[in-house]
Amino acid sequence: MILYVCVALTLALGALVQTVAGFGSALVAMPVLTQILGVQVAAPVQALLGLLTTVTVLYRNWGGLRWREASLLMAGGVLGIPLGTLALKSLPSEPVVGCLGMMLLAYAAFALWIQPRLQMRSPFDEEKSINAKLISWIVGFTSGVLGGAYATDGPPLIVFGSIKRWPKETFRSILQACFLVNGIVVVTCHAMGGLITHEVLTYCCFGFPGLLGGMLLGIYLDRRVDHDRFRGLLLILIIVLGAALLGRAVFGG
């Protein structure tokens, strides 16, 4: 029972973070779920329940969605997800966990040192150019691979949106639209790969109340918290979780 409570609390925290920040559910929840459930159970649990949070946040930010920009990212993601799912199913857990830890630390490094120094002009401003379309597709593909393997498709999309200087509502809506399409495909691939097991569904049932509570609390706090301070605390948490996963992969245990 303690394990189920831990799963519910972890999913609650992830849902709260994504509802307030527009991203971060998997970045927060997956490292903890991986530690207590193992990556092959944690990933499908997060993928299944993460869809509910995504739909809620997308509904609240629907007006800012730019379909042209989102469609290329979605197309790349759909093609990358099967590759990530294959890696999750076939690779030993240690390299998968280690890569997840390194990805979290790399994202934290970007957010701390690179993102604040980005110029207002983006190298990808010309939406109709072949290079811009190719870059969008590559970002989406990378996101899909990470989504299939770790249920954490956010970092490439977050970095891309930061470089593009999307407005807040556009940033949230494009992320959620990509998360939704990716999430549906990820769950489908996980099911076809035999990763949606009775154990996974059991954890989802116990985790759902926590997820719902986290979303409701996040909706309440969204307009009442200092978002810059909230993201700072989130980055600290991501660094700690990334280091813990990397340490587990390197030293075992």
pLDDT digits (tens, 9 = 90+) for 43-89: 999 999 999 999 988 888 787 778 888 899 999 999 999 999 999 99
- The pLDDT tens digits of the residues spanning 201-253 come to 999 999 999 999 999 999 999 989 998 889 899 999 999 999 998 988 887 65
Alpha carbon distance 150, 147 (integer Å):
5
Instruction: Please measure the distance between the N-terminal and C-terminal CA atoms of the chain and give it in whole angstroms.
Output: 22
Which pLDDT band holds residue 130 (cuts at 50, 70, 90)? Answer: low
Q: Quick one: pLDDT at residue 115? A: 78
Alpha carbon distance 187, 54 (integer Å):
14
Alpha carbon distance 164, 247 (integer Å):
34
**Contact between residue 23 and residue 227 where contact means Cβ atoms under 8 Å apart:** no
| Nearest alpha-carbon partner for 163 in 116, 195, 127 | 116
Token pair of 76 as six digits: 């790349």
Token pair of 58 as six digits: 């997308």
- The pLDDT tens digits of the residues spanning 140-177 come to 999 999 999 999 999 999 989 888 888 888 888 899 99
